[in-house]
Amino acid sequence: MKITREEVEYVAHLARLALTPEEAAEFTGQLGQILGYFDKLGQLDTSAVEPTRHAIDIVNAFRDDRVTESYDSDTALQNGPSREGPFFRVPKIIE
């Protein structure tokens, strides 16, 4: 697929980019090469390739749910910098 300089300038306008004429010419060539690679990919025979979600098999790494004892307040709060009753004490951020 061939891309024109006017198309590059139009996309730059939509993206609110101010391109110099040299940059527009450079990007026209670069985008033309990128689109050429996509044309090559479109020529590949992929009829025997199964669609996949990921390039590699992904195994679920979650553990089984288990009911366990939770920490009591004193144990849970012992590493906090400051506490007030059964809560962490934090600086006020809302006036």
48 token code pair: 């025997």
Write the DSSP string, 33-90.
HHHHHHHHHHTS--TTSPP-SSSS-----PPPP---PPPPHHHHHTTSS-EETTEE--
List C-alpha distances in Å: 2 to 7, 11, 42. 10, 15, 15
The candidate with the shortest Cα–Cα distance to 80, out of 72, 70, 71, 90, is: 90
Statement: the pTM of the whole predicted model exceeds 0.95: no
What tens digit of pLDDT does each residue of 33-81 get?
Answer: 999 998 888 888 988 888 887 778 777 778 888 899 988 888 888 888 8
User: Average pLDDT in the 2-14 region?
Assistant: 93
